[in-house]
């Protein structure tokens, strides 16, 4: 990705940032340092869709034949679960969620007479 640079701005020596970008980055860094790991995890979890919504999105993605999106959503679910549970439990939960979503997607496809890819 090409970055357009306004050459009239003062440049911070050797950083690739203009001085305003650098100030913003330093302030953001200070804010992050002040947060505990638990707070960062909680904020991350708040940005994710709720597990029921992820499940629904996986089901509909599979029903439409979009397995790539379904797998990406499943990985998102697994990452979120690994922040709350052990890695093995998170992986198991993701596999179980994907299996249930796949079964439901097959039922939807069968009902609508549309084969899954």
CA dihedral 35, 38, 41, 45 (to 10 degrees): -120
This prediction has a pTM of: 0.54
The domain ranges of the chain are: 11-36, 48-111
Q: What is the pLDDT of residue 31?
A: 72
116: buried, middle or exposed (CB in 10 Å: 19+, 13-18, 0-12)?
Answer: middle
Q: What is the pLDDT of residue 16?
A: 57
Q: Give me Rg for the CA atoms of the chain.
A: 21
Q: What is the pLDDT of residues 43-84, one digit of tens each?
A: 877 877 777 888 889 988 888 888 899 899 888 888 878 877
């Amino acid at each position: 990705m090409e970055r357009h640079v306004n050459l009239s701005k003062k440049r911070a020596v050797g950083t690739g940032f203009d001085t305003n970008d650098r100030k913003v980055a330093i302030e953001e860094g200070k804010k992050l340092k002040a947060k505990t790991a638990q707070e960062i995890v909680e904020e991350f979890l708040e940005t994710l869709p709720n597990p029921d919504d992820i499940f629904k999105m996986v089901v509909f993605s599979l029903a439409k034949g979009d397995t790539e999106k379904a797998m990406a959503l499943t990985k998102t679910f697994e990452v979120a679960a690994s922040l709350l549970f052990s890695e093995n439990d998170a992986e198991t939960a993701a596999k179980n969620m994907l299996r249930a979503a796949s079964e439901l997607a097959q039922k939807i496809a069968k009902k609508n007479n549309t084969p899954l890819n």
